[in-house]
Amino acid sequence: MIEELKKLQSGTDIRGVAIEYDNLRCNLTIEKVRAIGYGFAAWIKSNRSNKEDKVKIKVKISVGMDSRLSGPSLKTTLIEVLKQSGCEVYDCGMCTTPAMFMTTIVESYKCDGAIMITASHLPYYYNGLKFFTVNGGCEKEDITNILKLAANFKSTVSNIGEVKSINFIDQYAEILVNKIREEVAFNTEIKVEKPLAGSKIIVDAGNGAGGFFVSKVLESLGADTEGSQFIDPDGRFPNHIPNPEDKAAMEALSKAVLKHKADLGIIFDADVDRAAIVSKTGKEVNKNALIALISSIVLEEHPKSYIVTDSVTSTGLSEFIADLGGVHHRFKRGYKNVINEAKHLNNEGKECHLAIETSGHAALKENYFLDDGAYLIAKILIKVAKLKEEGKDISYLINDLKEPKESSDIRLKIKTEDFRAYGEKIISELRACIKDLPGWSIDTVNYEGIRVNCDKANGDGWFLLRLSLHEPVLPLNIESDYEGGINIILDRLKSFLEEYIHLDCTDMKVKEMI
């Protein structure tokens, strides 16, 4: 059974097909979820430091889900096996990933562990599990150990626990509301109950779990939310994929902001660990722009802080952070990678208060380095309220961000079974080749793949070629500071990459200049 369970591990998550679709067979079955639930409970018990606690005190585990169609049946299964394992179970119903972590922190619960049932932005027929303790999200090796224990699952368990249903999302929303009120009123004697009064702020929840933010946060703070869309949970995701990186999703929010003349638009992914915004002009503020925005807020509070990002961030962002007195530390893709690197820097005595991926995963030191889309937005809303008093819009913070004239993201598929070795070979040989190319230089500070800087005569920008974390793909990210620069970069690269017969270069299309 262990080999079948291992196939469900996706880094620090469990992911699989929960509803049969087209040619995809269901591999995240009730039986496997039951075994994994048992494995998590056994893992929590085994890690208890106090021997008496292991015997006398029941393990407390919370369970929540996003809006996916398969969520209720998987939640019922988990609660059942956790109860059979002797746990005290908190059924949080519809919840968010960051809220589930907070059940391990909030004094009235202090759960030993938490499980969130979600597959983030993936199509409706997928689902998965995310695991937390008070120390944060489980690491890759933790998941491996949980699965090893799951393989020992037997249906005959004698201990009987208990189940309590709680509406934790209300308590989580209250934490956010109180945070915003207190920060807006900081250094004043007046407590501001409605700091967003007079502002029109709309939300696109993509029919995921983020709809709570409209009534329980924004309206509680006085905002006009008319025009918010897709806030009712619907696991089919009938309007668009709940994903701040999805072009259709961002366009839908931009149109809504302009139509309803909103001051700000907010978008969440399905489980609300990621977010992005749209300004009142309808302009998307995500990826590099979102990183710049929250960096400016963090650096105002913590001058000279390190800002950890993933590897595909722009040169303009680095300059923006440096101009604000911060240190941009570009690291590997993967939200756990950037979070763990931020923690590592702090342990080395290098003050770091923000770890953020271009995907919208943002984790702040003040919030347990938890990637929390709602908390990210709360930080932005605090600044929105303060800037409003000065007659300024939130976009004011990133007026000086230099954006490239052109950018392109290309995915080159590797068509061989041993794709990882093949991809690493391509990157290694490209590294050797570029040493002899005029106008291109390899960035010496880089933690994955190969990042190349291109001078004005040879593309005027940069590109990053790396191996995907999970797929047989070489993602290629390119930026140029003048129109036509990407064509120069692509033309040079294409002549090299087309020599590899197992690499599909059909997406490396040189754009026609009009």
Query: Does the domain formed by 406-504 have CATH 3.40.980.10?
Result: no
| Structure token pair of residue 473 | 């793909």
Q: What is the pLDDT of residue 315?
A: 94
Q: Of the ranges 39-48, 91-100, 190-199, 305-314, which one carries the lowest mean pLDDT score?
A: 190-199
**Res 54 pLDDT > 90:** no
**Res 188 pLDDT > 70:** no
Distance separating alpha carbons of residues 464 and 255, to the nearest angstrom:
32
Residues 6+ apart with CB under 8 A from 289: 398, 401, 403
Percentage of the chain with pLDDT > 70?
A: 96
**Res 55 pLDDT > 70:** no
Q: What is the pLDDT of residue 514?
A: 38
Q: HSE (CB half, 13 Å, CA atoms) of 328?
A: 25
Q: Of the ranges 34-38, 167-171, 188-192, which one carries the lowest mean pLDDT score?
A: 188-192
| Per-domain residue ranges of the chain | 2-166, 172-398, 406-504
Q: Which 3 state secondary structure label does DSSP give 178?
A: helix
Residue 156: band (very low, low, confident or very high) from pLDDT cuts 50, 70, 90? low
Residues 6+ apart with CB under 8 A from 131: 40, 113, 114, 115, 116, 137, 138, 142, 143, 146
| Structure token pair of residue 472 | 């047989």
Q: What is the pLDDT of residue 272?
A: 98
Cross-strand pairs, 359: none
One-character DSSP codes across 183-246 = HHTTTSSS--S-TTTT-BEEEE-TTSSTTHHIIIIIGGGT-B-TT-BS-S--BT--SS-S-TT-
Among 427, 298, 417, 458, residue whose Cα is nearest residue 366 = 298
Distance separating alpha carbons of residues 231 and 221, to the nearest angstrom:
18
* Rg of the chain in Å (alpha carbons): 24
Q: What is the pTM of this model?
A: 0.94
Distance separating alpha carbons of residues 8 and 100, to the nearest angstrom:
21
Query: pLDDT tens-digit profile of 440-493?
Result: 999 988 999 999 999 999 999 999 999 998 789 999 999 999 999 999 999 999
Q: What is the pLDDT of residue 160?
A: 83
Distance separating alpha carbons of residues 314 and 297, to the nearest angstrom:
19
Residue with tokens 């953020």: 356
Q: What is the pLDDT of residue 400?
A: 97
Q: HSE (CB half, 13 Å, CA atoms) of 167?
A: 5
Average pLDDT over residues 348-373: 97
Residues 6+ apart with CB under 8 A from 59: 41, 44, 45, 48, 85, 86, 87, 88, 112, 113
Residue 178: band (very low, low, confident or very high) from pLDDT cuts 50, 70, 90? very high
3-state secondary structure 403-468: CCCEEEEEEEEECCCCHHHHHHHHHHHHHHHHCCCCCEEECCCCCCCEEEEECHHHCCEEEEECCC
**Res 190 pLDDT > 80:** no
| Structure token pair of residue 43 | 């893992």
Task: Please provide the distance, in angstroms rounded to a whole number, between the alpha carbons at the two ends of the chain.
Answer: 58
Tell me the average pLDDT of the chain: 94
Query: Does the domain formed by 172-398 have CATH 3.40.640.10?
Result: no
Q: Of the ranges 115-124, 139-148, 150-159, 363-372, which one carries the lowest mean pLDDT score?
A: 150-159
Query: pLDDT tens-digit profile of 270-304?
Result: 999 999 999 999 999 999 999 999 999 999 999 99
- Residues 125/18, Cβ–Cβ less than 8 Å: yes
Judging by DSSP bridges, how do beta strands 60-65 and 113-117 pair with one another?
Answer: parallel
Among 69, 101, 16, residue whose Cα is nearest residue 233 = 69
Q: Do domains 172-398 and 406-504 have the same CATH topology?
A: no
Count of C-beta atoms within a 10 Å radius of residue 298: 24
Q: State the maximum Cα–Cα separation within the chain, in Å, rounded to a whole number.
A: 75
Q: What is the pLDDT of residue 436?
A: 83
Q: What is the pLDDT of residue 427?
A: 97
**Fold designation for 2-166:** Alpha-D-Glucose-1,6-Bisphosphate; Chain A, domain 3 (3.40.120)
Residue 513: band (very low, low, confident or very high) from pLDDT cuts 50, 70, 90? very low
Count of C-beta atoms within a 10 Å radius of residue 32: 22
Q: What is the pLDDT of residue 71?
A: 98
Q: Please give the helix or strand (H or E) that residue 282 lies within, else none.
A: none
Query: pLDDT tens-digit profile of 213-254?
Result: 999 999 999 999 999 999 999 999 999 999 999 999 999 999
In angstroms, the Cα distances linking 58 to 78, 83, 132, 288, 440 are: 16, 10, 17, 45, 61
| Structure token pair of residue 309 | 């990002």
- Residues 377/387, Cβ–Cβ less than 8 Å: no
Distance separating alpha carbons of residues 15 and 509, to the nearest angstrom:
33
Residue 52: band (very low, low, confident or very high) from pLDDT cuts 50, 70, 90? very low
Average pLDDT over residues 250-273: 98
Q: Which 3 state secondary structure label does DSSP give 330?
A: strand
